[in-house]
Amino acid sequence: MFRATGPDAGLFHDEAGGHRWQRVPPTEKRGRVHSSTITVAVLPEPAAAALELPAADLEWTACRATGAGGQHLQKTDSAVQVRHRPTGMIVKSQGQRSQHQNRAVALATLRARLAAAAAAAAARDRDDARRRQVGSGMRGDKRRTVRAQDGTVLDHLTGRSWRLRDYERGEW
pTM, entire model: 0.55
Q: Which of 13, 19, 84 is nearest to 42 (CA)?
A: 13
Q: What is the pLDDT of residue 30?
A: 92
Q: What is the pLDDT of residue 50?
A: 62
Q: What is the pLDDT of residue 59?
A: 93
All structural domains of the chain = 9-42+138-169 (3.30.70.1660), 55-130 (3.30.160.20)
**Mean pLDDT, 10 residues at a time, the chain of 172 residues:** 79 83 90 87 65 87 75 74 93 85 88 85 86 70 84 88 88 76
DSSP string for 15-35 = --EEEEEEE--TT-SS---EE
Q: Which of 33, 19, 35 is nearest to 137 (CA)?
A: 19
Q: What is the pLDDT of residue 15?
A: 82
Q: Please give the Cα distance from 76 to 22 (Å, whole number).
A: 76
Classified as helix, coil or strand, 172 is: coil
